[in-house]
């Protein structure tokens, strides 16, 4: 066969065009630096980054369909949860994506032996020096400092990928993520809080069958009386489990738990929980390093659900501040690390509670969506995932009004309500807060509407009903009326009588509410498993339909946020004087303060078993 010179020229031109296309670099992600972070200088080029590369999940829509069908009590497939292998098959990327990413990594000298893959191969992790990462991502990494805490991170504000691999990668982190995943615990030693609680409770205590002592502090006994779990004896402890996650060097202390049990659950004194370390998470058992948040979570979750077996995960991932350290080693990406670990397990506790979050806008949207999809995988496997809704009302999750922020970080400085993530994820159950007896909404209860996630079908009717009750123009433009509304439910949030560092003290926050609801869910799972029924799994489609009648509707109170004198002055400069002290009100039915209300175990048990 004779090839003409003109043909050779055309082939050469075509080959050059192919090379040119592969050399085209496209921006993959770009973010504004959140308020409170300052650039320190160029990152040490020798510092090691553990890059987590998320590949597309082309069949996630099918997984979501399965999730909604098996979680809908009116669907014929209700309760038919998927296996680990079935879930992995539904989130696996196409082979073309795997090949393209492998070839791209190989072009930078990275071999298969250096990769770590998730079971579904939808995540690839590889450790590289900053110098290599900068070449791979066509970017520059800097050292950033968080002014309030002093934490240091290595980050960039933008990265790019070659055109031929661009569509085969969803996200790469840690690159643009500045979230800090704050704990939701609120110390209640501040003057006035306890007195306000007691005054509110004593005024109507006679209307509720709860001990008078519950006006002084919330205990396991108070919660059992309020939510009707008193007298229930778990029967399926060999099948059931309840898990609590811990982050930010929070250690669940065995000695504090024993002291708590001695004072409130004496029958549990000789019991404990299973511990797992994730990504270098520590288990320091010295009392002076006991975790305030971790202690509150495990004591009330495990105490209220005793003797249901408990699990605690300690997940590493916050860079410690060392003044002369220019190369922090942790990546501050705890949810993805925890999901990596737990999704690999064949057996997972059927109920899991987390009391850590950050405002949604500090989490890059692509990363938030991938993490949210990880929670959907847990739901499809029959796990109920609960998150505290936050302690800042409609603000940024910060319960201290002096430092609350209610402005966008997209460079436009737009005044707006700031939802929390992961509570805004539609595949988790978000838990708000109440207080008093009878219960009303606690002012710091986090709630609102997501900017990232659309309103899921299970809550459209409930949210539409709430929005129809708002006055015309009520806070228009300050929240996303089409977004996922949260919280979904609520529970008591303070003051909880807990033990920390060997002493009894009062703590609270929605971080107390979430483990309380999780304990009730664990007991409901126990009742189901004892009858050989499957666990509840992803709760929300059930709660917003069949479960509505199993909650105490909270119709009084509101959440607040952004209400300080300095903030008001700033608003007046913007011509927004009328928007001082923004809030949502609790109403009949669902509301973005207390959700559907607080649980009544006996009613829910009757409905669900």
Tokens of 187: 């110390």
Is there a binding annotation on residue 591?
yes
Are 407 and 352 within 8 A, CB to CB? no
Which residues neighbour 117 within 8 Å (Cβ) at sequence distance 6 or greater? Answer: 123, 124, 125
Q: Which residues are catalytic?
A: 293, 297, 511
Give the separation between CA 601 and CA 491, rounded to whole angstroms: 12
Give the separation between CA 484 and CA 346, rounded to whole angstroms: 31
Question: In angstroms, what is the C-alpha Rg of the chain?
Answer: 25
Residue showing tokens 């031929």: 164
Kindly report the backbone phi and psi dihedral angles of residue 236, in degrees, each rounded to the nearest multiple of 5, phi listed first. -115, 45
Is there a binding annotation on residue 554?
yes
Give the separation between CA 153 and CA 89, rounded to whole angstroms: 35
Give the separation between CA 113 and CA 215, rounded to whole angstroms: 60
Tokens of 465: 């009903």
Collapsing DSSP to helix, strand or coil, 102 comes out as helix
Kindly report the backbone phi and psi dihedral angles of residue 247, in degrees, each rounded to the nearest multiple of 5, phi listed first. -135, 175
Cα–chain-centroid distance for residue 280? 20
Give the separation between CA 281 and CA 245, rounded to whole angstroms: 11
Give the separation between CA 520 and CA 523, rounded to whole angstroms: 5
Tokens of 227: 């939510």
Give the separation between CA 195 and CA 410, rounded to whole angstroms: 41
Is the bond leading into 122 cis (omega within 30 degrees of zero)?
no
Helix, strand, coil tally for the chain in percent (to 5)? 35, 20, 45
Which residues neighbour 537 within 8 Å (Cβ) at sequence distance 6 or greater? Answer: 70, 71, 79, 81, 350, 379, 380, 381, 382, 383, 384
List Cα–Cα distances, 52 to 66, 121, 149, 371, in angstroms: 27, 12, 25, 12
∠ CA(53), CA(47), CA(115), 5° rounding?
35
What residues pair up with 558 in beta bridges, in sequence order? Answer: 585
Is there a binding annotation on residue 575?
no
Give the separation between CA 123 and CA 101, rounded to whole angstroms: 11
Collapsing DSSP to helix, strand or coil, 354 comes out as strand
Give the separation between CA 41 and CA 144, rounded to whole angstroms: 7
Q: What is the DSSP string of 152-210?
A: EEEE-SEEEEEHHHHTT-SEEESSS-----EE--EE--STTHHHHHHHHHHTTGGGS--
Is there a binding annotation on residue 54?
no
Residue showing tokens 């928007």: 579
First vs last C-alpha separation in the chain: 77
Q: Nearest Cα to 281, choosing from 187, 356, 372?
A: 356
**Residue positions in the annotated binding site for Ca(2+)?**
553-554, 589, 591
**Residue positions in the annotated binding site?**
553-554, 589, 591
């Amino acid at each position: 066969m004779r090839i003409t010179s003109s043909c050779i020229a055309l082939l050469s031109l075509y080959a050059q065009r192919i090379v040119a296309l592969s050399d085209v670099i496209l921006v993959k992600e770009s973010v504004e630096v959140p308020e409170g972070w300052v650039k320190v200088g160029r990152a040490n080029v020798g510092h090691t980054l553990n890059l987590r590369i998320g590949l597309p999940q082309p069949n996630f829509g099918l997984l979501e369909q399965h999730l909604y069908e098996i979680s809908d009590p009116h669907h014929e497939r209700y309760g038919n949860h998927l296996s680990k292998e079935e879930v992995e098959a539904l989130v696996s990327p196409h082979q073309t994506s795997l090949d393209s990413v492998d070839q791209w990594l190989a072009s930078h000298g990275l071999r298969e032996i250096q990769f770590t893959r998730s079971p579904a191969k939808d995540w690839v992790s590889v450790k590289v020096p900053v110098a290599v990462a900068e070449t791979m991502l066509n970017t520059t990494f800097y050292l950033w400092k968080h002014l309030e805490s002093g934490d240091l991170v290595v980050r960039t504000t933008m990265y790019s990928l070659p055109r031929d691999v661009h569509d085969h990668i969803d996200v790469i982190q840690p690159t643009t993520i500045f979230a800090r995943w704050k704990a939701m615990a609120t110390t209640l030693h501040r003057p006035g809080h306890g007195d306000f609680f007691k005054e509110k409770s004593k005024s109507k205590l006679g209307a509720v069958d709860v001990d008078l002592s519950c006006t002084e502090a919330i205990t396991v006994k108070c919660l059992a009386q309020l939510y009707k779990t008193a007298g229930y004896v778990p029967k399926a402890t060999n099948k059931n489990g309840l898990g609590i996650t811990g982050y930010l060097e929070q250690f669940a202390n065995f000695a504090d738990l024993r002291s708590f049990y001695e004072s409130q659950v004496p029958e549990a004194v000789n019991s404990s929980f299973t511990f797992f370390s994730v990504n270098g998470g520590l288990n320091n058992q010295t009392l002076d390093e006991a975790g305030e948040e971790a202690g509150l979570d495990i004591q009330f979750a495990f105490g209220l659900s005793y003797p249901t077996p408990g699990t605690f995960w300690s997940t590493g991932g916050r860079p410690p501040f060392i003044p002369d350290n220019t190369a922090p080693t942790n990546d501050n990406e705890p949810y993805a690390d925890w999901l990596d670990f737990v999704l690999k397990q064949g057996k997972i506790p059927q109920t899991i509670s987390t009391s850590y979050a950050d405002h949604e806008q500090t989490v890059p949207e692509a990363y938030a969506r991938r993490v949210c999809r990880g929670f959907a995988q847990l739901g499809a496997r029959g796990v109920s995932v609960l998150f505290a809704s936050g302690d800042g009302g409609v603000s940024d999750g910060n319960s201290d009004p002096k430092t609350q922020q209610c402005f966008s970080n997209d460079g436009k400085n737009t005044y707006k309500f700031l939802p929390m993530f992961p509570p805004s994820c539609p595949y988790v159950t978000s838990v708000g807060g109440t207080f008093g007896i009878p219960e009303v909404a606690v002012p710091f209860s986090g709630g609102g509407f997501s900017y990232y996630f659309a309103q899921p079908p299970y809550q459209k009717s409930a949210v539409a009903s709430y929005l129809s009750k708002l006055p015309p123009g009520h806070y228009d433009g300050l929240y996303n009326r089409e977004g996922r509304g949260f919280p979904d439910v609520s529970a008591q949030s303070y003051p909880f009588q807990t033990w920390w560092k060997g002493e009894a003290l009062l703590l609270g926050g929605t971080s107390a509410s979430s483990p309380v609801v999780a304990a009730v869910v664990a007991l409901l799972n126990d009742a189901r498993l004892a009858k050989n029924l499957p666990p509840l799994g992803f709760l929300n489609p059930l709660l917003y339909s069949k479960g509505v009648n199993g909650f105490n509707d909270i119709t009084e109170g509101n959440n607040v946020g952004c209400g300080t004198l300095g903030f008001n002055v700033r608003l007046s400069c913007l011509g927004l004087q009328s928007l001082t002290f923004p809030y949502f009100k609790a109403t009949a039915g669902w509301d973005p303060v207390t959700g559907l209300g607080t649980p009544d175990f006996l009613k829910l048990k009757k409905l669900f078993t």
